Structure 1
Amino acid sequence: MPVIGSFAALGSRNFRLFFLARAVTMVTGSMSSIALAFAVLEISNDPVSLSLVLTAFTLANIVFVLFGGVVADRLPRALVIQACYVLDILSIGTIALLLFTQTATIPVVVGLAAVNGASTAFVMPAMQGIIPQLTTPEALQQANAMLSFVRSLVTIGGPVVAGILVTTVGAAWAMVAQIIGWLAAIPILAMVRLPPPAGDGRFSLFTDLRTGWSEFWSRSWLVAVVLAFMVMNAIHVGSWGVVGPYIAKNDARLGIAGWGWVVSAEGAGVLLMTLILMWFPLRRPLRMGMLGISLFAIPLTMLGVHPAVVLVAVAALIAGAGAEVFSTGWSVAMMENIPTDKLSRVSSYDMLGSFVVMPIGTLVYGWLITRADPEVVLVTSGLLYAVIAVSTAFVPSVWRMGRAEGATARA
């Protein structure tokens, strides 16, 4: 029966435990981005302040992500994730406490956002590297789609709840919920049993970084996609992460609650696509992924032309579906074509390249939105985003990338 293949990853006890822990943190963390954005705007209704907080998070992530990849390949990945959750509890908990006591300031939030960004730099490579250890090659796409399913499911309701909480009792309560999630996930991850990390036990930071770079640079499809996302992520974080909330707070056609519905619609699009990907394999994961991600240009343009809730939400729904095609396709391509013992390091180079321009994006868009017509900024951004995504899809190694032998046989 196809349904058995669709949930084959749950046959592994380790994956079930990891899936539960990840689901808990995604449920409680689904409100965090909106809560943080509007917490900053509550302290200072200035898009530059929000861009500074996002920049601090991203810069810390960039600085530490290569080290995170090395650590995740050398130490038990579940343990790395647990340790980072403890650090997250401390940083986000402090922000929540300052909000409750009305003593939060932008410089303090900037510093705590940097701590959270540094922690995330270790979590992300560990998350990417741990999944092939938890399931079989045949179930990789299903495992990634199942995780995306939960993420998108909670994204639908989380931003709406966050919007309601922010407008009623304040942003700090959403952060408290996230802390509860981390506290619950830590003991669950402690029950995951994985083989010891590969290697002879000797640790050399520069040798490990050089090995990861060689694995990264030797794959033209990997380099092409990362270079594309170097620019696309800067556009995304600046336009959607800075300009979007600013328009929502200052344009009655959208509003804070309306922005929550828009973000939720994007999650609904991801949700629908994950259901499809549980049943149907991506035989050309990168080709379809880059064409799918180009659809983000639609809500970006609509946000500039006519930021009405229904129109932007429908466009975000379409973009969410396309984003999930890329997300699952990219994860599968990485996990099938890169050795597991080097996967976290290669993923860290992917993340470094993809994130390195994002701080510039947040700062530039925070500056642009105070000096230029938002419609011109967003429409131009949408056009550039689409051109880069579609052009990358036609890079020969990206266009031809298929699946590993036997990986799609089950479906």
Structure 2
Amino acid sequence: MTTTEERPPRLEKSVLRFRDAIALGKLGVLGRRGRAMLTAVGISIGIAAIVAVVGISASSQANLLQVLDDLGTNYLTVKPGQSFSSDEEAQLPAEAGGRLSILDQVQAVSTVAQLDVTVRRTDQMPATDTRGVVVLAAEADLLSTLNGKLASGRWLDAGLSGYPTVVLGTTAAQRHGVDISEGGQLVWLGEQWFAVVGILQPMPLAPELDSAALIGTGIATQQFGYQGSPTTVYVRANPDDINAVRDVAGATANPESPQEVEVTRPSDALEARAAADTAFTTLLLGLGGVALLVGGVGIANVMVISVLERRNEIGVRRALGATRRHVRSQFLVEALVQAGLGGFAGVLLGAGVTVVYALVMGWPIVLPVAGLAGGVLAALLVGGLAGLYPASRAARLEPAEAVRPA
């Protein structure tokens, strides 16, 4: 007869499921709310800075692209350059605009001429108090050539060219406190009153018009002796032929002295500004990364202190069967929870800053999804790296050593 030897009951292997690890991590954070909140603030500041920089940069880029789409990149500005033949300033011939309009690739041409006339809010103000506003004689087709728009009022069409009427650029109107939506307004231009009939919207491709008072060529000729010599010629060409027109614009406008003509493409300045914004954005992202790093160091410090304070807890858990991996997972999850909370709060804060700034600047609001998701992932990555050492230190504690009084 054989007897079966009784074996001791087999202990089940200790298991820490993923959801249990998450629950333990949440309990560890909730047990120290104040400390966890302060730790998360460091992460949230770094993430908010990164998200805001990315969002504001994207909104700025979208605004520039919208401006270029609305106004086009097929514009050239022709101005007098530097004179090499005499001490006198270079000038454009009166026929410069007409000559440029003959080119087959040119779609529209319009000119303005700066007059030696001052504009003031009233005749009681000193003659020098022009608020930096210049007077320009403008042709009736200027607004259509530049695809410009009026904020209010009407433009200097052919019917108003010979009358004492003026259209102010947006900056000029602000400087002189003119708002025609409140009724008729007058300004003292030269030695007589001119009625303000319109105010322009900002002109990104012709910013010199923002601080100008524009009058018709007819009244400029009658009252101020305008001879038809322009100071600026605006040329709109076929988009595919813009470089070809640019190459011949100087010689066409002034065949006798083409070297005294300066031809520029206003959209190049906007594209250069976009490139400068990109470089500045990179610098700000670096500063946001530094703030995020500081937040990671804060998490590491707090977690190390937490390990020292919870030695008894670690010892009891180890004695009850928790493995090193379980303890390591618990503290690593706590670090990730704190970083995740900070990352989420930082994303909300950065998005809010972006929205407010874009609204104030009048830009389209652009919140890149990749930037928002990247902010949270960056916070979790920093939190995970910061929690590795404290978690490993907690896992190395032996049960007997952990419960021993310090």
Q: TM-score range by the shorter chain?
A: under 0.3
Normalised TM-score (structure 1): 0.26
Normalised TM-score (structure 2): 0.27
Instruction: Name the larger-Rg structure.
Output: 2
Which structure: greater strand fraction? 2
